[in-house]
Amino acid sequence: MRTRMWLPVSIFLAGVALIALAVATGKAEVSLVVVFPVFTGTGGLFLLGILLIILSFFVGFGLLATASEDYDVTSETIAPQNLPQQQQRSTKYGGFLLIGPIPIAFGSDKKLATIMLIIGIVLAVVLVGALIAFA
């Protein structure tokens, strides 16, 4: 089940790679409007990259919609408190959101939120550096 979820990620990354290739070959341009990067292009690589990114969203949502069919709903999945102590797992989550170059981090605990903030800051610095380098 989890290996199926890599399909939309792979399609998305292929689209990003094609757009980057289009920018590198001069078939597309990168502009900065306020703090948001804007990509424009006329070549086939750029168009294929955009189509792959859009396709990745459809494939990802489709896999999420059909993922519930893969789970067997039993009493253990409905009531995990009945499991022995060593089999119970705690679920942690975290992420970050880039609003322009400003990262906003969140997480289920302080350590995970801090890690997400560091990743967000590093990614923001890399993106701003890339935009300055290509401008």
Q: Which of 103, 125, 127, 130 is nearest to 115 (CA)?
A: 103
CB 94 within 8 A of CB 116: yes
The number of C-alpha atoms within 13 Å of 73 and in the hemisphere containing its C-beta is: 4
Q: Is the dihedral of CA 39, 9, 126, 106 positive or negative?
A: positive
pLDDT in tens, 17-69: 999 999 888 888 888 787 777 888 888 888 899 999 999 988 888 887 776 55
pTM higher than the cut 0.85? no
Question: Tokens 């990802």 appear where?
Answer: 60
Q: Is the dihedral of CA 10, 108, 71, 89 positive or negative?
A: positive
**Domain extent listing, the chain:** 1-72, 93-135
pLDDT in tens, 69-112: 545 555 455 555 555 555 666 788 888 888 878 888 888 888 88
Give the pLDDT of residue 106.
85
Give the pLDDT of residue 34.
75
